[in-house]
Amino acid sequence: QKEVEQDPGPLSVPEGAIVSLNCTYSNSAFQYFMWYRQYSRKGPELLMYTYSSGNKEDGRFTAQVDKSSKYISLFIRDSQPSDSATYLCAMRTGTASKLTFGTGTRLQVTL
């Protein structure tokens, strides 16, 4: 069983929709949670990170962490075709520097 599980999709939504992307994890030592966006054949781009439980908002993006359920989410409001990409969750413990990634969810926003 992988430490971080993420539905690979693909997830297809119409332009303007609210998108919900999720990851579950098994390691209770994870304290920092990141979301990356990766376009085809490019490196991952950091969108945002959160520490422990709670919400964080940045523009159209909101990240949520529920440590009691070992569940994290990324919401994208007013989705645009340019949001079409693979979204990767990543996380790390408080002492480690390495990131543990999910497999990524491929998102397609259609006109």
Partner 1 sequence: DTGVSQDPRHKITKRGQNVTFRCDPISEHNRLYWYRQTLGQGPEFLTYFQNEAQLEKSRLLSDRFSAERPKGSFSTLEIQRTEQGDSAMYLCASSLGSSGKRVNEQFFGPGTRLTVL
Q: Closer CB to partner 1, residue 14 or residue 43?
A: 43
User: By CB under 8 A, is residue 100 in contact with partner 1?
Assistant: yes
What length does the chain have? 111
Q: Closer CB to partner 1, residue 16 or residue 94?
A: 94
Q: Closer CB to partner 1, residue 15 or residue 51?
A: 51
Which runs of E-coded beta strand occur in 1-111? 4-5, 11-14, 19-25, 30-38, 45-51, 54-58, 61-66, 71-76, 85-93, 100-101, 105-110
- CA dist., res. 55 & res. 62, Å (int): 7
Among 21, 35, 63, 92, binds partner 1 (CB under 8 A): 92
The alpha carbon of residue 37 and the mean position of all alpha carbons in its chain are separated, in whole angstroms, by: 8
Contacts (CB under 8 A) with partner 1, residues 2-61: 4, 6, 8, 32, 34, 36, 41-46, 49, 51
Q: Closer CB to partner 1, residue 4 or residue 76?
A: 4
Contacts (CB under 8 A) with partner 1, residues 55-84: none
Which two structure tokens, joined as six digits, stand for 90? 């990543």
